[in-house]
Structure 1
């Protein structure tokens, strides 16, 4: 959880992040209660797992801002 949290804070900020992290923690807790390993939850690529969660993040991420800046640079 700590690794996912550190990764996600690098790309997104704001109140929406707290709710997202709470949901991830609950998912891990429920999965552990069901006897699942972290690998069972996140799959083979933890970065892909975290990125998929950032795709539904309700606020603009750092990457969104950088992409917009790059696109605007050619106009």
Structure 2
């Protein structure tokens, strides 16, 4: 019963375990794959904006899978990310869809502008 109460405040404990496991897998990689995976992980935390815990955890598990496979196969970092690592990371994040924090703000902006337009038309 206490676990449900704690999870209500902090989120899923299972998701936290999965996330920590994925992060540990990244930390276990050899260079240069570890540096590349950590850089992409950091960027996805800032850019991704995913609000759903399941989606976020899956994205980071898949990130660990990607870089582990590249390290095992000896695939160079440049063959993974290409010439534009930002585009690669953003495309990777966008493939997960789902709600993002910016979606709520976009909706609020649109509603505020529509409300302002209506007030303007009444004048």
TM-score, normalised relative to structure 1: 0.76
User: Paired residues, what number?
Assistant: 75
Structure-2 separation of matches of 1:71 and 1:42? 35
Whether 1:38 aligns to 2:74 is: no
Q: 1:5 aligns with which of 28, 34, 41?
A: 41
**Secondary structure at the residue paired with 1:36?**
coil
Which has more radius of gyration? 2
Q: Which ranges of structure 1 fall in alignment gaps of 5 or more residues?
A: none
By relative contact order (CA 8 Å, sep 6+), the higher-ranking structure is 1
Q: Which runs of 4+ in 1 moved over 4 A?
A: none
For structure 2, list consecutive stretches of 5 or more residues without a partner in the other structure. Answer: 1-36, 115-123
Cα RMSD of the aligned pairs, angstroms, is 1.9
Aligned 1:36-75 pairs, distance under 5 A: 36-75=75-114
Q: Secondary structure at the match of 1:74?
A: helix
Q: Could you list the per-position Cα deviations for residues 25-55 of structure 1 after superposition, in whole angstroms to 9, with x for gaps in the alignment?
A: 1111111211111111111111111110121
